[in-house]
Structure 1
Amino acid sequence: MQSSDPRHFFETDAEQELRKRRSAKAGNRHGNPIVLKSKILAAIADPRFPSSAILVAESTGSVRQVKLDDAENAKPVVYRGPGAPVCSIAVGGPGFGTLFAGSWDKAVWSWDLVTKAPGRKYLGHSDFVKAVVCARLGDKHVLISGGADKRIIVWDIASGERLHTLQDGIVNMMSLQDLVVDHASSTADEIHLLSASSDPHIRRWKIRSDGWEKIVDSSSDTPGTERHTILEHETTVYKLVFDQDTDEVDLWTASGDGTAKCLSRITDFAGCDDTFNHGGHVRAVAVTDQWVITAGRDEDVKFWDRSSGQLHCSLEGHYDEVTDLIIIKSPSGAAKVCSVSIDGTVRTWPLEKAALGALVKEQEAPVEATDKEDEDEAKGGDLMTADEEAELAALMEDDD
């Protein structure tokens, strides 16, 4: 039997210190953690229950529904199939009834969202599928996937046909990290897509039924020259989010250079309006009309005052890298933000100032130390081999 226990392998002093620190931190209850048996690599709101449930991509090769309000008593809803970690998820198709998952096995898997019945498998990438998103193109529902093979593929969901393969022949594009549809600029017959990758360039694309093109416009810095990409970061861009709370629908980005930025639509995303220096690799960013929320490798969830740009508070709870943030809006109750992490927990945080202040005081209290390895054993382990653990670590370090 292969072991994934780090104590069974050579560790540097720094690795031992990191493990001890995380073990000491693992016992905290900040954010009302829901503990899963696997690392969580991505998350989206469940469109059927947008105020009470999320869907998470698991390192054990499955997608799981997590009920936020009654996780202990809820019947497990798990979509199984891939034999390798799932790193991206999306919901789309007619009636938003199909769940899609991009996997390390180079395929995009699909299931009926309600019945969990397996659907079509989309094969065409030659490396990890790291981003998936759905859209409508004319009379077709389409799936768009991005891979570590540096390609973006557009699929007809119904037939499984590969419609287009997008690649950048001008500015070398590296492993894809995220995809987002710019609905404010798209039309019924043309999708405007933005992509982020392991290089610092953000690319814009126009996709039609009969073809595609990369959006190139005039440079505002050097008149008479062309701007082939949006270049506002120094290294990997991990996350792209459109702000739905403003009329302009600005673009927000999270990067390995330690910052989250707001790129204004008014200037055609040329030039940065606001920069938030989170520190470390920023994996996720979420925005409300009041807050900019950032998280990443340093494990903390940071709330920034959107008006002043000042850090309001930093919430501790996760004891490994945070991989995603999801805003949960409730029609009857207060909105909240969910964070998911490599530590296998889903945590929920309030958005009201008073509640955040109470959490800051609470986290200042001492936390009982616990042994993370014993905790992992008690909950069944991650089911990843030592080789897979190393591969995941390399994937999370991928910012070249």
Structure 2
Amino acid sequence: MQTADPERFFETDAEQEKRQRRAAKAGNKFGNPITLKSKILAAIPDPRHPSSALLVAESAGAVRLVNLNDPENTKTAYRGPTAPVCCVAVGGLNSGTLFAGSWDKNIWSWDLTSKTPGRKYVGHADFVKAVVCARVGGKDLLISGGADKKIIVWDTATGARLHTLQDGVVNMLSIQDLVVDHASSTESEVSLISASSDPHIRRWKVRLDGWEQVAETSPDAPGTDRPTILEHETTVYKLVLDLDSDEADLWTSSGDGMVKCLSRLKNFTCEDTFHHGDHVRSVAVTEQWVITAGRDEDIKFWDRTSGKLHCSLVGHYDEVTELVVLRGPSGSSERVCSVSIDGTVRTWPLARAGLEAAVKEQEKPPVQEEKKEAGGDDLLSAEEEAELAALMGDDE
């Protein structure tokens, strides 16, 4: 008989202790959890409802709409892949197309409103781990990065591959994240920033007729260039451009346990460092807070002005994969959502009073409840669970 029950496999003492700790923690209600039936690998705001809804990538091979104002209604799903979905983006004509990169090496698309399947983009030789949308010269582009160490630029309308970006100077490993730098883009050229399993951050200029990698001015040797931005020691997992700052500085999170602010005015050299500890999978920034999360399961709020840790909130019982700031109609930050391998979506306040109330709530003695298992309908076998763990821990 085949089984994915970890208790039926050989485990080290450390693995048993971790599993038992997570099982004891699984019943908590901190962050008002919305529980899905599979692991959540990525999330973005739903552009139609940016203050109240998320589009999440599930290991069960779907993108699911999660309405935070109606947590019982999680039935809206975009289906097609039979392998885990790793990343999501929205773009195309009138921002009406949903894109999803999958373990099956393909990028799937749907009409965001009708859920009608659209074009499938085939070309990567390994997992697709990052997708973003851009517009250049009046044409909609899809840009994807994969575990095959390639960044591919697609014509969204035709599915044609326009360019394949690869670093010819410093060996580039598996792509972890991509972000469009609108502050440096023009109508005819998009500025792209990439992160990968090596510690190097790369900038690119992409046009319809070609592309180039941007050399950075060396902070140590004025007048000379450095081929990449090198401020971390190992894998860079997440890139975030600060929407609440006129400088639009670049924030990064890494497997070295640190989150850094890279100053645009100083040629993307490090201006601030926050020591989260363990692998930091995601970072989010607001005018007041720097928020970090990752393998240690906690959500940490840092005072952006002083750099001091304000509080650490518990709730998730497995690795946190994404933080998403939800913004109101005026663009102001309203709350932050976290998603996790534990299959839950949790929401946290951004107001100082709300955070203090959350800390007090977590200091109360725990109430014993029957544990609810997440992941009952997960598509992953025991072997795929191990593969996912290896993928999430890819620091090579």
What range is the shorter-chain TM-score in? over 0.9
Give the aligned partner of residue 138 of structure 1.
137
Query: Aligned to 1:392, what secondary structure does the other structure show?
Result: helix
Q: Determine if the alignment matches structure 1 residue 337 to structure 2 residue 336.
A: yes
Q: Determine if the alignment matches structure 1 residue 385 to structure 2 residue 384.
A: no
Residue by residue over 1:324-383, the C-alpha shift from the partner in whole angstroms, topping out at 9 and shown as x without a partner, is 0000112499710000000000000000111101111111122245675x624xx73423
Give the aligned partner of residue 79 of structure 1.
78
Instruction: Give distance in 1, aligned partners of 2:100 and 2:3.
Output: 27
Query: Aligned to 1:184, what secondary structure does the other structure show?
Result: helix
Instruction: Give distance in 1, aligned partners of 2:163 and 2:333.
Output: 42
Counterpart of 1:399 in structure 2: which amino acid?
Answer: D
Q: Determine if the alignment matches structure 1 residue 95 to structure 2 residue 91.
A: no
**Quick check: 1:257–1:280 contact (8 Å CA) kept in 2?**
yes
Residue by residue over 1:231-254, the C-alpha shift from the partner in whole angstroms, topping out at 9 and shown as x without a partner, is 000000000000011110100000
Counterpart of 2:281 in structure 1: which amino acid?
Answer: R
Instruction: Give distance in 1, aligned partners of 2:212 and 2:119.
Output: 28
Instruction: Give distance in 2, aligned partners of 1:237 and 1:157.
Output: 27
Give the aligned partner of residue 36 of structure 1.
36
Residue by residue over 1:112-161, the C-alpha shift from the partner in whole angstroms, topping out at 9 and shown as x without a partner, is 10111111110010000000000001121000000000000000000000
Instruction: Give distance in 2, aligned partners of 1:392 and 1:309.
Output: 34
Give the aligned partner of residue 27 of structure 1.
27
Q: Label 1:148 to 1:296 Cα distance change in 2 as closer, same or farther (>3 A).
A: same
Counterpart of 1:23 in structure 2: which amino acid?
Answer: A
**Quick check: 1:243–1:250 contact (8 Å CA) kept in 2?**
yes
Q: Label 1:28 to 1:75 Cα distance change in 2 as closer, same or farther (>3 A).
A: closer
Q: Determine if the alignment matches structure 1 residue 367 to structure 2 residue 363.
A: no
Residue by residue over 1:28-76, the C-alpha shift from the partner in whole angstroms, topping out at 9 and shown as x without a partner, is 100000000000000000001111100000000100000001111x361
Q: Label 1:384 to 1:363 Cα distance change in 2 as closer, same or farther (>3 A).
A: same
Counterpart of 2:227 in structure 1: which amino acid?
Answer: H
Counterpart of 2:10 in structure 1: which amino acid?
Answer: F
Q: Label 1:128 to 1:75 Cα distance change in 2 as closer, same or farther (>3 A).
A: closer
Q: Label 1:29 to 1:75 Cα distance change in 2 as closer, same or farther (>3 A).
A: closer
Query: Aligned to 2:30, what secondary structure does the other structure show?
Result: coil
**Quick check: 1:27–1:368 contact (8 Å CA) kept in 2?**
no
For residues 165-180 of structure 1, the aligned pairs below 5 Å read 165-180=164-179
**Quick check: 1:25–1:370 contact (8 Å CA) kept in 2?**
no
**Quick check: 2:60–2:377 contact (8 Å CA) kept in 1?**
no
Counterpart of 1:221 in structure 2: which amino acid?
Answer: D
Q: Determine if the alignment matches structure 1 residue 148 to structure 2 residue 151.
A: no
Give the aligned partner of residue 66 of structure 2.
66
Q: 1:311 aligns with which of 309, 325, 328?
A: 309
Q: Label 1:89 to 1:362 Cα distance change in 2 as closer, same or farther (>3 A).
A: same
For residues 142-291 of structure 1, the aligned pairs below 5 Å read 142-269=141-268, 271-291=269-289
Counterpart of 2:76 in structure 1: which amino acid?
Answer: V
Counterpart of 2:288 in structure 1: which amino acid?
Answer: Q
State TM-score, norm by structure 2: 0.97
Instruction: Give distance in 1, aligned partners of 2:13 and 2:135.
Output: 52
Residue by residue over 1:165-218, the C-alpha shift from the partner in whole angstroms, topping out at 9 and shown as x without a partner, is 000010000000000000000000001000000000000000011100000133
Query: Aligned to 1:335, what secondary structure does the other structure show?
Result: strand
**Quick check: 1:23–1:370 contact (8 Å CA) kept in 2?**
no
**Quick check: 1:25–1:369 contact (8 Å CA) kept in 2?**
no
Instruction: Give distance in 2, aligned partners of 1:10 and 1:370.
Output: 28
Aligned residues: 395
**Quick check: 1:107–1:122 contact (8 Å CA) kept in 2?**
yes
Counterpart of 1:67 in structure 2: which amino acid?
Answer: N
Q: Determine if the alignment matches structure 1 residue 116 to structure 2 residue 115.
A: yes
Query: Aligned to 2:158, what secondary structure does the other structure show?
Result: coil
Counterpart of 2:385 in structure 1: which amino acid?
Answer: E
Structure 2: stretches of 5+ with no match in the other structure? none
Q: Label 1:371 to 1:282 Cα distance change in 2 as closer, same or farther (>3 A).
A: farther
Instruction: Give distance in 1, aligned partners of 2:379 and 2:241.
Output: 35
Give the aligned partner of residue 296 of structure 1.
294
Q: Label 1:221 to 1:113 Cα distance change in 2 as closer, same or farther (>3 A).
A: same
Instruction: Give distance in 2, aligned partners of 1:81 and 1:36.
Output: 18
User: Percent of pairs identical after alignment?
Assistant: 71
Instruction: Give distance in 1, aligned partners of 2:365 and 2:23.
Output: 14
Give the aligned partner of residue 15 of structure 2.
15
C-alpha RMSD of the superposition: 1.4
Query: Aligned to 1:355, what secondary structure does the other structure show?
Result: helix
Instruction: Give distance in 2, aligned partners of 1:75 and 1:391.
Output: 27
What is the CA-CA distance between 1:224 and the residue it aligns to?
Answer: 4.2
